[in-house]
Amino acid sequence: MDIEQNVVTTLVEAAREVRNNAYAPYSGFRVGAALLAEDGRIIVGCNVENSSYSLTCCAERSAVFTALSAGIAAFHAVAISADGKAVPPCGACRQVLSEFGPELTVILDDPSGTPRTLSLVNLLPEPFTPDFLKK
């Protein structure tokens, strides 16, 4: 969880900005996520809902899938920004994030204070990993 303060600020700002693009007409709950790749690049994503509600994709997974589509598959940190409060990633997103950043630092934007910094290992202590698939 060694991350410089200016990097935290940059990631939170990127997550806030992409939150403006959220497509959330059903919940009204807009979320933005900004991943810091191992090579220093920042990749963003927002939540995208659908009239068939269960097809919704969270901001964190949007960011991961965008990154993978661009050939970026290893991450140091993710910042998450939601409307009005510090929001941790849902269980499904924890699992997806852990595949590409098992030691990820998770930064939660807090509009009423300083960002919270957590570690994915604490949020998902026993992920399902590719090792379990080995015969």
> Stretches 6-14, 89-97, 99-107, 123-131: which one binds ligand THU (CB under 6 A)?
89-97
Of the pair 60, 109, the CB lying nearest ligand THU is at 60
Q: Does 29 bind ligand THU (CB under 6 A)?
A: yes
Smallest distance from ligand THU to CB 133, Å: 25
Tokens of 44: 């963003």
Q: Are strands 31-37 and 75-82 parallel, antiparallel or unpaired?
A: antiparallel
Q: What are phi and psi of 49, to 5 degrees?
A: -90, 175
Options 13, 17, 38, 60, the catalytic residue: 60
Q: Does 31 bind ligand THU (CB under 6 A)?
A: yes
Q: Does 66 bind ligand THU (CB under 6 A)?
A: no
**Phi-psi label, residue 106: left if phi above 0, alpha if psi -120 to 50, beta otherwise:** beta
Sheet architecture: strand order including 116-119 = 42-46, 31-37, 75-82, 105-108, 116-119
Annotation marks residue 60 as catalytic = yes
Residues forming the active site: 60
